[in-house]
Amino acid sequence: MSDVQNKDWQVEQERVSAVGEEIDRKVKALKQNTGKVRSDVLEMRKTFWEDVTVNTDEPDDMIETAASIKQQAELLSERERTHKQLDRHLKTLDRLKYSPYFGRIDFLEKGEKSSDQVYLGIASLMDEQDENFLIYDWRAPISSLYYDYSPGPAQYNTPEEGIIVGEMTLKRQFIIRNAEIKGMFDTGVTIGDEMLQEVLGNNASTQMKSIVATIQREQNEIIRNESSKVLIVQGAAGSGKTSAALQRVAYLLYRYRGTLNAENIMLFSPNSLFNSYVATVLPELGEENMQQSTFQEYLNHRIGKAFDVEDPFTQMEYLLSGESEVDDQIRGEGIRFKASLHFKKIIDQYASDLSSQGLLFRDLSFRGDVIISKKEIYDYFYSLEKSYSIPNRIQIVKDWLLKELRRAVKRERSRSWVEEEIQFLEKEDYMEAFKKLQEKNRFSENTFDDFEREQRLLAEMVVKEKFKPLFVRVKNLRFIDTTQVYLQLFEQDNIIDKGLPLNWSKICTLTVKNFHNMVIPYEDATPFVYLQDLIEGRKSNTAIRHIFIDEAQDYSPFQFAFIQRLFPYSKMTLLGDFNQAIFSGATGSETVLTDLNVGDEDVESFVLTKTYRSTREIVEFTSGLINGGEKIEPFNRKGRKPVIEMVEPTKLNSAILAKMKEMKDEGHRTVAVICRTSAESQKVYGALKNELPLHLIEKGTVSYEKGNLVIPSYLAKGIEFDAVILYDCSQYKREGERKLFYTVCTRAMHELHMFATEGINPLMASVSKDAYKLI
């Protein structure tokens, strides 16, 4: 290091220490404040019931009591919120103390005499007088200079003053750990190769990390995009789509602080494992996590317990098992058809036809007798004014049915079964009836009249209790036979007559059979819920303002249209890679990335071709597997070539065991054996679990630890491992599995080792022989 560099280093270290002192001061002040709020909260929790006036004697008192409880609860929750905020702030300061910033730029604004020094960290920090920024938040407008430019002319955009032009005179990067500068580089064009090398060369983590220190220019564009309604990011495996998405959430929360909260943002992710994988990024950046769900969870929630909804993983297992080529073909055709916007249009038309005829209802029965028949409901529905929408008419029918049920309750009171039931009532029920009578002030003394009234009340109680399920059913609109209405599409010839797939009648038989077995195949779940919404009407969700769909290639055009309808006021960010469309790859259906039904003016698309996860050698191998792979640009990190090792089937398990041990000894912390199916994973796990510490990942697994893992192919998407061992790559034979094969190989950061029992698979024919080592 030269003297000048040495001096710079010293000056910067002094600044780090000075900033550390300021942080200490702020922490001290904040802790005092937090302590006060914490004791307030504890005190309030302890004395909660002393501070509310509880009196339940009279209705008026009850109202007053409720109001008092509410007021006290609001006070408590306000204090708790403040406490949470202070706590978060403290944690952020703690992180800043450890590593206050990662970058510095000197910027000379046009017309100014001296340049500003801008230090960038995960949050901003003011000096003691609260006048100057010691650290700028990485999301501040000026910080974008750091990501977008190298030294020289530069500009940035501010919401208040528009574009600010000037010159960047210095760009410096820091690696600071425990308040000590460990590395410092003045950089040129890109954001330091050195720094990226350092970050990417590390071991894989079981939790995703934030990338704020090394965000690349093209990623920054995505993170800060504010203009588009639908933003689509198509990016190669490992190009940082998920990372960009999460930093974008953090950016939006910063940019729209005060109007946009974490609850207003929703991320649809591929599975529960992925949910926990990404869960630490935002808290690490001092932000609350957005809402997260899988689309499957949403569908399950909507369809309820009446049916088993098949999940995409079961669908995948079925397709991979290749049990019957013919069944596969029919199922595949059905899946393609039901994923399409054409099918959505058919359902739209069908729903509009249902306005004049064809809706189906269920009888409402009580104790074996039909009290309102489906025919009566049908007649009532179609007697209503046709200009009312179906959902409006359904509401009117509901009100009518509730009225009819109340009438039935009255009729039923004098039936003999009621008297019998009364005999079996518990003492508490009598007491309750007695209390009610007292409340009504009608109970005078032990007269005959009183007895009569009590009997009437008891009868009403008994009947109402028995009628409860019927009321619930009507309120939940379960008098509509949605299942049968959906199945009509497949049972009546005249409803769908255009653009039908070849094996339509077989698809119909299969669909009906599944529903009768109380199973909704995954491909039917969205169309079914969509039709249900058209009939019942569903209030759109207005709370969610921004939707992120990761692994968007797994969503069909129909599913995306459905999501858009649910969240009409929401902006959308879709991130995906059509080379990893493993579900649609297996069936050849369209995905939302290939068939997006939104106006061009609303859409902005970005393509990420640089990839960061894997070593150059692994990328050279994996990009040979796909069309257009030559466009993928690996980050220059050296490693060993992927290896394909021939092995006899009987020796496969022991070879895997030896390889896992070897990888571990080489210092890899997460070593994943990726199997094609879940059945295969279970077999490997069973065979090896007593030989070394091993975790099996299944579709319900929510998190995983470092170490040795066995995981089915389709669950590995989105995550990464130090070393990947492919169980038996000879099995990936069909063209439909190319994307699956590409996806599993791209999970490896440092090592990719493939075992093969029947030689190289045909999908590898397109890969240059130089890109792997065959042993």
Binding site per annotation, positions for ATP: 235-242
Closest CA to 680 of 700, 661, 698, 705: 698
CA 529 – CA 533 distance, rounded (Å): 6
CA 509 – CA 488 distance, rounded (Å): 12
Site string for ligand ATP, 728-767 (x = CB under 6 A): ------------------x---------------------
Q: How many helices (H) and strands (E) does the chain have?
A: 26, 26
Least distance CB 147 / ligand ATP (angstroms):
9
Phi, psi (degrees; rounded to nearest 5) at 152: 135, -165
Stretch that binds ligand ATP, among 102-110, 236-244, 297-305, 437-445 (CB under 6 A): 236-244
Least distance CB 98 / ligand ATP (angstroms):
19
Q: What is the DSSP pairing of strand 643-646 with strand 773-774?
A: parallel
| Residue whose CB is less far from ligand ATP, 93 or 763 | 763
Under the phi-then-psi rule, with left for phi > 0, alpha for psi from -120 to 50, and beta for the rest, what region is 755? beta
Site string for ligand ATP, 558-577 (x = CB under 6 A): -------------------x
Under the phi-then-psi rule, with left for phi > 0, alpha for psi from -120 to 50, and beta for the rest, what region is 385? beta
Least distance CB 687 / ligand ATP (angstroms):
29
Least distance CB 577 / ligand ATP (angstroms):
5
Q: What is the DSSP pairing of strand 162-177 with strand 103-109?
A: antiparallel
Output Rg (C-alpha) for the chain, integer angstroms.
32
| Residue whose CB is less far from ligand ATP, 212 or 508 | 212
545 touching ligand ATP, by CB under 6 A: no
240 touching ligand ATP, by CB under 6 A: yes
Least distance CB 569 / ligand ATP (angstroms):
27
Least distance CB 205 / ligand ATP (angstroms):
8
Size of the site for ligand ATP (CB under 6 A): 24
* Contact pick of 16, 93, 211, 354 for ligand ATP (by CB under 6 A): 211
401 touching ligand ATP, by CB under 6 A: no
237 touching ligand ATP, by CB under 6 A: yes
Phi, psi (degrees; rounded to nearest 5) at 479: -85, -10
Footprint (CB under 6 A) of ligand ATP, residues 701-720: 718, 720
Stretch that binds ligand ATP, among 235-243, 301-309, 321-329, 391-399 (CB under 6 A): 235-243
Least distance CB 145 / ligand ATP (angstroms):
17
Q: Is the distance from CB of 158 to CB of 170 less than 8 angstroms?
A: no
Footprint (CB under 6 A) of ligand ATP, residues 574-593: 577, 580
CA angle (45, 51, 54) in 5-degree steps? 115
Closest CA to 639 of 664, 662, 658, 666: 666
Q: Annotated binding residues, as ranges?
A: 235-242
241 touching ligand ATP, by CB under 6 A: yes
Footprint (CB under 6 A) of ligand ATP, residues 625-664: none
Q: Is the distance from CB of 618 to CB of 730 less than 8 angstroms?
A: no
Termini Cα distance of the chain: 45
Stretch that binds ligand ATP, among 25-33, 76-84, 193-201, 385-393 (CB under 6 A): 193-201
| Residue whose CB is less far from ligand ATP, 209 or 464 | 209
Residue whose Cβ sits closest to ligand ATP = 240
Q: Cβ contacts of residue 762 below 8 Å, gap of 6+?
A: 733
Site string for ligand ATP, 37-66 (x = CB under 6 A): ------------------------------
CA 127 – CA 132 distance, rounded (Å): 6
219 touching ligand ATP, by CB under 6 A: yes
* Contact pick of 124, 187, 206, 214 for ligand ATP (by CB under 6 A): 214
In degrees to the nearest 10, what's the CA dihedral of 443, 445, 448, 449? -30
* Contact pick of 27, 41, 108, 199 for ligand ATP (by CB under 6 A): 199
Q: Cβ contacts of residue 315 below 8 Å, gap of 6+?
A: 335, 521, 522, 523, 583
**Per-residue DSSP letter, 395:** H
Whole-angstrom CA distances from 335 to 99, 329, 582, 633 are 51, 10, 14, 34
CA 454 – CA 451 distance, rounded (Å): 5
Q: What residue ranges bind ligand ATP (CB under 6 A)? A: 196, 199-200, 209, 211, 214-216, 219, 235, 237-243, 577, 580, 612-613, 718, 720, 746
